[in-house]
A and B are shown apart, each in its own frame.
Chain A
Amino acid sequence: NAGVTQTPKFQVLKTGQSMTLQCAQDMNHNSMYWYRQDPGMGLRLIYYSASEGTTDKGEVPNGYNVSRLNKREFSLRLESAAPSQTSVYFCASSEFGDRGRNEQFFGPGTRLTVL
């Protein structure tokens, strides 16, 4: 099993350009998440999806859109990139629903620079 995969690993954009970050998981998890991590900071939740067909805003959703394409895939789109969106983006998934361990599995991250 590959776990959580993200593409691309690195990306450089100019201000105003758009792009989509892709995420896929092969663990049959219902919940998926997008976080951003700025240098020296913790992770901040952008959007999450509790199940196929549903999405909800996290702490910092402005400037982003998401699509839960199917149970496996959850994409993050920047419509008009800004330098403030320079960050490392992590996708995660978990099997939420049971009372007990709600472990989130993270992908390797996408390092995005907006010039």
Chain B
Amino acid sequence: LAKTTQPISMDSYEGQEVNITCSHNNIATNDYITWYQQFPSQGPRFIIQGYKTKVTNEVASLFIPADRKSSTLSLPRVSLSDTAVYYCLVGSYNTDKLIFGTGTRLQVFP
């Protein structure tokens, strides 16, 4: 399973766009990229998943360059309720094991 590296923490203000970048240099051909969000005292929650290029849903966008060695989670116009830990995971279609790193702690200020 590919190891991921992401910033330990980030700060932002309400209404701003937040981009969290994840590095996964050893990503394999069968690997896809998934982001989870975790609020205090809760289990993680799936946000978005992608394999290449760009994926967008009602919550976020995921940008994956052609070499797939990194990915960027983009949260448009964050609010206080987006304060959470965000995990970048790389997993293979051949296994259902996921490896959670320490994540990025996003703090949104008013």
Chain A residues at the B interface, C-beta cutoff of 8 Å: 4, 31, 35, 40-45, 48, 50, 58-59, 90, 92, 94, 96, 99, 101-109
Contact = CB atoms under 8 A, between A and B. Distances in A.
A96 B44 CA distance: 18
A50 B96 contact: yes
The 5 closest A-B pairs by CB, nearest first: A106-B43, A96-B96, A42-B100, A43-B100, A103-B46
Contact of B96 (A40, A43, A48, A90): A48
Residue in B41, B44, B45, B99 whose Cβ sees the most chain A Cβ within 10 Å: B44
Given A42-B87, A90-B43, A103 B49 contact: yes
Nearest to A6: B43
B42 A108 contact: yes
A48 B103 CA distance: 22
A45 B97 contact: yes
A65 to B, nearest CB: 19
A109 B41 contact: yes
A4 B45 CA distance: 12
B56 interface: no
Interface of B: 34, 36, 41-46, 49, 87, 91, 93, 96-103
Given A101-B49, A102-B91, A103-B49, A43 B97 contact: no
B17 to A, nearest CB: 25
Contacts of A40: 102
Contact of A92 (B43, B49, B101): B43
A108 B40 CA distance: 11
Contacts of A108: 42-43
Contacts of A58: 97
Residue of B42, B100, B103 with highest tally of chain A CB at under 10 A: B100
15 contacts: A4-B43, A31-B96, A42-B87, A42-B100, A42-B102, A43-B100, A58-B97, A59-B99, A99-B93, A101-B46, A102-B49, A104-B44, A104-B98, A106-B42, A106-B43
A104 to B, nearest CB: 7
Given A104-B46, A106-B45, A109-B41, A44 B100 contact: yes
